[in-house]
Structure 1
Amino acid sequence: MNWYVVYTKPKWEKKLALQLQSRGINCYCPIVVQSRQWSDRIKKVEVPLFNSYVFVQLAEEDRQLVFDVPGAVRYLFWLGKPAIVRNEEIETIQNWLQVAKENKVSLTQHQIGDCIEVPTGPFAAQNAVVQDIKKTHYVLVLEGMGCVLKMKIHNQ
């Protein structure tokens, strides 16, 4: 069975994932904890890692089952076909989210446009292109996964 990407209504990621799981459909909605500030307080909230996306693992002939659940809009397509996410990529996201401490990465010897291999952390051994270098972070494009990674600079 393949992993597909379902595009959801805005702010429906967690609701859709819960409803799909209750119907026996294997799905994954990666969640991260962020600090949000209101005028009177700061609160930690759980938000989806990818806005408006939920990953579902289904057989090709069962793909229409997700539309029985409110909140599912359509599948994400790539080159005219439903986008398929490899198991390794789902596992990489899961491993990355389980890492409790931040990993130190030093890219000072690289320039924008360089193709590098991420040396440490959950994305270790992934090929990436340095897209931008800022004072506080680096922006890397993980072409194999089709995503952009922002990594903080840690002063030693």
Structure 2
Amino acid sequence: MAGNKLTRAWYALHTKSRFENVVNDGLANKTLDVFLPKITVKSRRRDRHKMIRVPLFPGYLFVRTDLNPHEHIEILKTTGAVQLIGSTRGPVPIADATIDSLKIIVSTAGEVITGTRFKKGDRVMVVNGPFSGVTGIFSSYRGDGRVIVNIEALGQFAAVNVDAADVEKLPEILS
């Protein structure tokens, strides 16, 4: 925002886990410009193999607003909305060109590979598969969508090789 003039811009909106569609529909019902980029991936279910549409950035979507107080509150009152992403000065706008690029990327039929989700030393939890519920420390990527997670027990480490889609980063614990 420049001075007192409110200008419309895109902002990233953090949502509750797996609430991206709920927030998207809620904001659309409030006649706000909203963009939830989705990609097609193979379902990870054991009983069937089908292609499903999932958010490109889990836990985030984009909303276009001028941040007038009434609209800002309406965005945050939407079920599942957490906060607009920004700094201590407030929400940070995202360039229109970036949103346009994302729209082009998700409209193509080609495979979209997203960036690194974990860095060495991140605390993670396995959320699906035979190791579901196990917490550990992310070690490395193995390729083919596999990761290595170190688990400490009795003062020793054991490493497990799991699917990257079955692992979620745990929030950092503030000391």
Aligned-residue CA RMSD in angstroms? 2.1
Cα 1:42/1:83, change in 2 over 3 Å? same
Match of 1:64 in 2: 73
Per the normalisation by structure 1, the TM-score is 0.61
Residue 39 in 1 paired to residue 46 in 2? yes
| Larger of the two Rg values belongs to structure | 2
**Which of 52, 74, 84 lines up with 2:93 in the alignment?**
84
Residues in 1 aligned to 2:110 and 2:59: alpha-carbon distance in whole angstroms: 27
Q: Which amino acid aligns with 2:30?
A: R
> Counterparts of 1:4-153 in structure 2 under 5 Å?
4-61=11-68, 62-78=71-87, 80-101=89-110
State the shift of 1:71 in Å.
Answer: 0.5
**In 2, distance between residues paired with 1:92 and 1:68?**
29
Distance in 1 (alpha carbons) for counterparts of 2:86 and 2:110: 34
Change (3 A) 1:102 1:32: closer
- Which runs of 5 or more residues in structure 1 are unaligned? 104-133, 137-156
Give, in angstroms, the shift of residue 78 of structure 1. Answer: 3.4
Check the 8 A contact 2:22/2:79 in 1, yes or no: no
Deviates more, 1:90-99 or 1:36-45: 36-45
CA, structure 1 residues 69+96, in 2 after alignment: closer, same or farther (shift >3 Å)?
same
Amino acid at match of 2:58: N
The more displaced of 26-35 and 37-46 is 37-46
1:36–1:102 distance in 2 versus 1, CA, 3 Å: closer
TM-score (norm 2): 0.55
Give the aligned partner of residue 107 of structure 1: none
| CA distance in structure 1 between the aligned counterparts of 2:111 and 2:53, rounded to whole angstroms | 18
Cα distance 1:100–1:66, how it changes in 2: closer, same or farther (>3 A)? same
The answer for unaligned runs of 5 or more in structure 2 is: 1-7, 113-141, 145-175
